[in-house]
C-alpha cells in the first residue's frame, strides 16, 4: 500500500533584507534550513525550492507589514503552496508556550514551523488591488504628516532663536507648503480609489455616519480595516489594534496597573484616537459612555482608550451588517 504523504510545513522569519526558512517533511528525518534575500529574485528562488515537493506546502509567516506583504502575495500566487499570515502576538505567545527563551532569526523560523504544524492552518486571503493601494497611500500620508509635524517643530525652534538666519526659516516654511500640497494630492487620490470601488464606497459611508469620523479619518480607518481577514471577530480587531488590556499580576505582591498591550497595528490605533476624542464631544451616546467611566474613577485617557475599543467593536458590527452607526447600540443613555 502506498503511504499517503502529509503536507510539507515551512516557517519563515521575515526581515527587511532576508528570509530565514525552516522546512520539515513528514517522510524525511530532520529539518532543512535555507536563507533567501527578501527581494523579488529571492522570492522566486524560495518558491522554486518549495515547489520541488510532491505534496502540498503549508507556509507560516508573521505579519510584519510591507516586509511580509510582497512575500505573502508571491507565495499565494504559487501553485501548490498555501500561506498563513499569523498575528505576531499569537506567535510570541506560542513561543512562550514552547519555553523558547532565546531569540534568533533561525529560532523564530523554527517556532513558525511548529505553529504551522500544530495549530489549525488558516490560509491567507490577499486583499484586492484597490484595498492595497488605499492602505499604501494612507500609510504614506501618515509618514508625510509626521515629517510635517517635525518641520513645524523646527520652525518653532528657529523662530525662538535670533542666531538662525531668516533663510532657514523661509526654507522650512516653503517645505511645509509643499508637504501640505502633496498630502492633499494623495488624499484626493485615496478618495478617488474609494469612490471607484462600490464596496469601499459603501463602507466609507458607514464610517462617516459616526459623529467624530470625518473624511480623512474614515480613509485612514478604512485603509487598515478592509485588509483584515473577513473571519476576524471584533475581539480580534481589538487585539490587532493593540487595544486589548494586559494584566500583570504575580502571587500576592505584584499587581501592576492594567494597560493596553500596544502589540498590534499602530496605524489603526492612531487612526482611532482622534475620532474617539471628537465623538465624546459630539455624540450624546458616546459622551454618556465616556462620562460614566470618568464618574467611576477612570482617568480621561483611560476613558478615551475604552471609547476607542468600544468604537472598534461598533465599526466591526457596522461593516459586517452593512449598516450605519446607531448610538443606542453603542450605549443607552440612562433615563
Co-location of 182 and 283 in the same domain: no
pLDDT score, position 89 = 74
Out of 109-113, 239-243, 260-264, 277-281, give the one with best mean pLDDT: 277-281
Within-domain flag for 207: no
What's the CA gap between 13 and 103, in Å, rounded?
11
CA gap 240, 220 in Å, rounded? 15
Percent of the chain with pLDDT over 70: 91
22 and 81 co-located in one domain: yes
Residue 257: pLDDT band with limits 50, 70, 90: low
Residue 28 has what pLDDT?
Answer: 64
Q: Which domain holds residue 313?
A: 225-330
Whether residue 266 lies inside any domain: the answer is yes
- Residue 66's pLDDT is 64
Give pLDDT, residue 261. 64
Q: For residues 299 and 310, give the distance between their C-alpha atoms in angstroms, rounded to a whole number.
A: 17
Of the pLDDT bands very low, low, confident and very high (cuts 50, 70, 90), residue 163 is confident
Q: How confident is the model at residue 211 (pLDDT cuts 50, 70, 90)?
A: very high
Judgement on whether residues 69 and 139 belong to the same structural domain of the protein: no
Taking CB atoms within 8 Å and a gap of at least 24, the contacts of 243-246 are: 243/269, 243/272, 243/305, 243/308, 243/309, 243/312, 244/309
User: For residues 329 and 289, what is the distance between their CA atoms, to the nearest angstrom?
Assistant: 12
For residue 251, the model assigns a pLDDT of 44
User: How does pLDDT run across 90-138, given as a tens digit for each residue?
Assistant: 888 888 888 877 778 888 899 999 999 899 998 888 899 999 999 999 9
pLDDT tens digits for range 175-208: 999 999 999 999 999 999 999 999 999 999 999 9
Instruction: Assess whether pLDDT exceeds 50 at residue 249.
Output: no
Q: Do both 142 and 87 map to the same domain? A: no
Residue 306 within any structural domain of the chain: yes
87, 47: one domain: yes
Lowest mean pLDDT among 40-54, 235-249, 262-276: 235-249
Asked if residue 145 has pLDDT above 50, the reply is yes
335 assigned to some structural domain: no
Q: Three cell numbers at 1? A: 500500500
Tell me: do 111 and 146 sit in the same domain: no
Is residue 232 a part of any domain in this protein? Answer: yes
Last residue within a domain, chosen from 83, 118, 153:
118
The last residue of one of the domains, among 96, 118, 140, is 118
Tell me: do 56 and 101 sit in the same domain: yes
**Domain presence at residue 201:** no
Mean pLDDT of the chain: 88
Q: Are residues 188 and 273 in the same domain?
A: no
Specify which residues 259 forms β-bridges with: 246
307 belongs to a structural domain: yes
Least confident of 8-17, 101-110, 199-208, 211-220: 101-110
Contact by Cβ (8 Å): 232, 124: no
- Check pLDDT > 70 for residue 241: yes
More confident residue, 62 or 247: 62
Looking at residue 258, what is its pLDDT? 59
- In this structure, are 67 and 86 located in the same domain? yes
- List, for residues 62-91, the tens digit of each pLDDT value: 877 667 888 999 999 999 999 999 877 788
Query: Cell triple for residue 102?
Result: 532565546
Q: How many domains does the chain have?
A: 3
pTM value surpassing 0.85: no
Q: Which of 48, 2, 6 shows the shortest CA–CA distance to 27?
A: 6
**249 within domain boundaries:** yes
Cell numbers of 159, please?
Answer: 523662530
Closest CA to 128 of 189, 193, 67: 193
Residues of the chain with pLDDT > 90: what percent?
Answer: 63
Find the radius of gyration of the CA atoms of the chain: 24
When pLDDT is cut at 50, 70 and 90, the band that residue 248 belongs to is very low
Do 186 and 230 share a domain, yes or no?
no
92 and 29 in a common domain: yes
What is the pLDDT confidence band of residue 267, given thresholds at 50, 70 and 90?
very high
Using the 3D structure, point to which of 86, 118, 150 is the last residue of a domain.
118
C-alpha cell at 167: 533663510
285-310: pLDDT as tens digits? 999 999 999 999 999 999 999 999 99
Same domain, yes or no, for 111 and 19? Answer: yes
Amino acid at each position: 500500500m502506498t503511504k499517503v504523504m502529509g503536507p510539507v510545513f515551512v516557517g519563515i522569519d521575515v526581515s527587511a533584507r532576508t528570509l530565514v526558512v525552516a522546512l520539515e517533511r513528514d517522510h524525511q528525518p530532520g529539518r532543512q534550513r535555507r536563507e533567501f534575500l527578501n527581494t523579488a529574485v529571492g522570492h522566486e528562488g524560495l518558491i522554486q525550492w518549495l515547489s520541488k515537493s510532491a505534496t502540498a506546502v503549508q507556509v507560516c509567516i508573521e505579519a510584519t507589514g510591507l516586509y511580509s506583504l510582497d512575500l505573502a502575495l508571491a507565495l499565494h500566487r504559487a501553485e501548490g503552496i498555501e500561506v498563513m499570515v499569523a498575528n505576531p502576538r499569537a506567535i510570541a505567545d506560542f513561543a512562550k508556550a514552547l519555553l523558547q527563551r532565546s531569540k534568533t532569526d533561525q529560532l523564530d523560523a523554527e517556532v513558525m514551523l511548529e505553529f504551522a504544524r500544530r495549530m489549525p492552518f488558516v490560509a491567507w486571503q490577499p486583499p484586492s488591488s484597490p484595498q492595497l493601494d488605499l492602505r499604501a497611500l494612507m500609510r504614506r500620508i501618515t509618514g508625510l504628516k509626521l515629517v510635517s509635524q517635525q518641520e513645524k517643530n523646527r520652525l518653532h525652534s528657529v523662530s525662538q532663536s535670533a542666531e538662525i538666519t531668516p533663510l532657514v526659516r523661509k526654507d522650512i516654511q516653503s517645505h511645509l507648503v509643499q508637504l501640505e500640497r502633496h498630502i492633499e494630492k494623495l488624499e484626493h487620490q485615496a478618495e478617488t480609489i474609494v469612490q471607484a470601488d462600490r464596496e469601499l464606497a459603501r463602507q466609507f459611508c458607514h464610517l462617516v455616519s459616526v459623529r467624530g469620523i470625518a473624511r480623512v479619518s474614515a480613509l485612514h480607518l478604512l485603509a487598515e480595516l478592509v485588509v483584515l481577514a473577513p473571519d476576524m471577530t471584533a475581539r480580534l480587531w481589538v487585539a490587532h489594534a493593540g487595544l486589548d488590556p494586559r494584566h500583570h499580576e504575580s502571587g500576592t505582591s505584584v499587581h501592576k496597573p492594567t494597560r493596553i498591550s500596544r502589540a498590534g497595528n499602530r496605524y489603526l490605533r492612531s487612526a482611532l484616537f482622534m475620532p474617539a476624542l471628537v465623538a465624546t464631544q459630539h455624540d450624546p451616546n458616546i459622551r454618556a459612555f465616556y462620562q460614566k467611566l470618568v464618574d467611576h474613577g477612570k482617568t480621561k485617557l483611560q476613558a478615551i482608550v475604552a471609547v476607542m475599543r468600544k468604537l472598534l467593536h461598533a465599526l466591526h458590527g457596522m461593516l459586517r451588517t452593512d449598516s450605519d452607526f446607531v448610538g443606542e447600540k453603542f450605549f443607552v443613555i440612562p433615563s
